Structure 1
Amino acid sequence: MDPWKTAPFELGHGDDACLLLHGFTGSPWDIRPLGEALAARGLHVKAPRLPGHGTTPEALLEVSHRHWQESAQEALYSLRGYRNVFVAGLSMGALLGLHLAARQPELVRGLVLIAPAARFKGPTMALLKRLRHTGLLERVKPWVHKTGTDLSDPVALAEAPILSAFPSARLNDLWTLQAQAVENAPLVRCPTLVVVAEQDHVVDPEGGRWLASQLTQSPDVRVLSLHEGYHIIPRDKGGPRMAAEVGDFLEPLREWGIEARAVH
């Protein structure tokens, strides 16, 4: 993978900040267009590269979901000096963001879950999940090879940095994060926007809608359904609309923060 493309980034200046979290086997490249759009609206944007990602397949041998959660937590803590802090995550990054909002409610003012990996699509993943505790997958197929990523835009697809393979053992970490999301959803107390792509080939958009229904303590839950583009929404055909909707969703939350502080 091209280290320049997959590098972490920080963009923009302002009193409010947004933490962006990429997905499994992805990199900050996947979410950069959203970061650029939010920076243009006056937010400071931070997108870390999660441990084991954006370099070589072998790097994922040395990490687990705990490393990803710790990295996300550290990035959130680094933004504590901002007036309002928001979190937006793509796919697995959405599950990590959900964890942050549930466990650190005093830090997360608003949450955006983009194509959340609540449920994977297709019978193969369902079968593998049922076999997860047998160790069979790791013995029979220790590596899962990739030839592409889920983008409908041919230009974005041609430019995408693609990790050629990943250890099948890391699927267990994804399933662990899914289980944690079920526990975390009712603990989220900030406004939340859930974005799903109806043509997603990786995660089931119904899983995103189901996850939205579990946010029972959130004061405002919205679902944005996109009919253009596939799983990597920020880089795909529906990306510009999504970026505009995310900015519009966060805008009144930023204003509320100003008013609340003026009262005190």
Structure 2
Amino acid sequence: MDAEKTAPFELGRGEDACLLLHGFTGSPWDVRPLGEALAARGLYVRAPQLPGHGSTPEALLSVDHRDWMQAAAHALLSLRNYRRIFVAGLSMGALLSLRLAADYPEQVHGLALVAPALRFKGPHMWLLKRLRRHGLLERLKPWVQKTGTDVSDPAVLAEAPILPAFPSVRLQDLWELQDMAMSVLPRVRSPALVAVAEQDHVVDPGGGQVLVRGLTASSLVRFISLRVGFHIMPRDKGGPLLASEVGSFFDRLRGADAAPESREPPAPARSGSG
């Protein structure tokens, strides 16, 4: 992978901050357009590179979900001097974001859960999970090959940094994080925006509605579904609309001060341009 493309980044300045978390086998590159849009709205944005990501397949052999969670928590706590802190996560990053909100309710003032990896899509992942249950996954398929990333825009796809493979043992960590996310949902009090792509080929968009229903303690929950673009939503054709929705949601919370919020019904499906 191109180390310059996949490097962590910091953007913008202001009294409020946003922590951006990328997904499994991804990198900060995947979420940079969202970070740029939030920085333009006056937020300081930090996007760390999660351990084992952004370099080689072998780098993922020596890390697991505990390392990713620890890195996310460290990044969050490094922002403690900001007035308000928001957390936005893509795919696996959305699962990590939920845990942060549950564990640090005083620090996380709002969430954006983008294409949350609560449920995977397709027969391939179903088969791998069955192999896991029988203890055969790592023996029969030690590596999972990747030939691309889930983006509909051909120009973006052509320049995307892609990890060519990952160790199948790390799927165990993704399944652990899915279970963890479901277990902490009742403890999440932060206002949350849940965004899914109807044409996502990696995760089941229906998982977004599961989160909406499970965020029973959250003071405000908003749901959007984009008809254009695939899984890597910030980089795809619906990216500008996603950035606008997330930015407006955080702006609303930044202007709310101590005023109590109320839950609102899920928004209808929205279509991006282009």
TM-score where L is the length of structure 2: 0.93
Instruction: State how far apart, in whole Å, the 1-side matches of 2:186 and 2:129 are.
Output: 24
The residue that corresponds to 1:203 in the other structure is 203
| 1:139 aligned onto 2:135 | no
* Cα separation, 1, equivalents of 2:116 and 2:230: 13
State whether residues 34 and 234 of structure 1, in contact with CA within 8 Å, keep that contact through their aligned partners in structure 2.
Answer: yes
1:149 is matched with: 149
3-state SS of 2:99 partner: helix
Q: Give the Cα–Cα distance (whole angstroms) in 2 for the partners of residues 211 and 259 of structure 1.
A: 24
CA distance in 1, matches of 2:207, 2:215: 13
Runs of 4+ more than 2 Å apart = 256-260
Hey, what does 1:74 align to over in structure 2? 74
CA distance in structure 2 between the partners assigned to 1:219 and 1:13 by the alignment? 27
Structure 2 match to 1:213: 213
Q: Do 1:83 and 1:257's aligned partners in 2 also have CA atoms closer than 8 Å?
A: no
**Structure 1 residue 15 corresponds to structure 2 residue 15:** yes
Moved more, 211-220 or 223-232: 211-220
Amino acid at match of 2:138: E
In structure 2, distance between residues paired with 1:179 and 1:102 = 14
CA positional deviation for 1:259: 7.7
Q: Distance in 2 between matches of 1:206 and 1:40?
A: 31
Q: Deviations over 1:48-100 (max 9, x none)?
A: 00000000000000000000000000000000000000000000000000100
In the TM superposition, residue 186 of structure 1 has moved relative to its aligned partner by 1.0
Shift, 1:2, TM fit: 0.3
1:252, CA displacement in angstroms? 1.7
The separation in 2 between residues aligned to 1:134 and 1:259, in whole angstroms, is 51
Corresponding residue SS for 1:4: helix
1:112 corresponds to: 112
What is the rounded CA distance, in whole Å, between the counterparts of 1:245 and 1:188 in structure 2? 21
| Cross-structure match for 2:37 | 37
- Listed one character per residue, the Cα deviations across residues 115-145 of structure 1 (whole Å, up to 9, x for unaligned) are 0000000133123223324331110110011
Q: What TM-score do the two structures reach when normalised by structure 1?
A: 0.96
Q: How does 1:80-91 map to 2 (within 5 A)?
A: 80-91=80-91
Q: Which moved more, 1:221-230 or 1:123-132?
A: 123-132
1:1-264 paired onto structure 2 within 5 Å: 1-257=1-257
- Give the CA deviation at 1:258: 7.9
Kept after mapping to 2: 8 A contact 1:84/1:257: no
Once structures 1 and 2 are overlaid, which stretch shifts more, 13-22 or 123-132? 123-132
The answer to whether the 8 Å contact 1:152/1:236 transfers is yes
Task: For residue 173 of structure 1, give the secondary structure of its aligned residue in structure 2.
Answer: helix
Query: When the two structures are aligned, how many residues end up with a matched partner?
Result: 260
Q: 5+ unaligned residues in a row in structure 2: which ranges?
A: 261-274
Identity across the alignment (%): 69
- The amino acid that maps onto 2:196 is V
Alignment partners' CA distance in 2, 1:231 and 1:164: 18
Task: Give, in whole Å, the separation in 1 of the partners of 2:183 and 2:119.
Answer: 15
Partner amino acid, structure 1, of 2:139: R
The one-letter amino acid of 1:183's match is S
Give the secondary structure class of the aligned counterpart of 2:111.
Answer: strand
3-state SS of paired residue (1:196):
strand
Structure 1: give runs of 5+ residues left out of the alignment. none
| Residues 189, 219 of structure 1: 8 Å contact kept | yes
Q: Aligned to 1:222, what secondary structure does the other structure show? A: strand
In structure 1, distance between residues paired with 2:69 and 2:151: 26
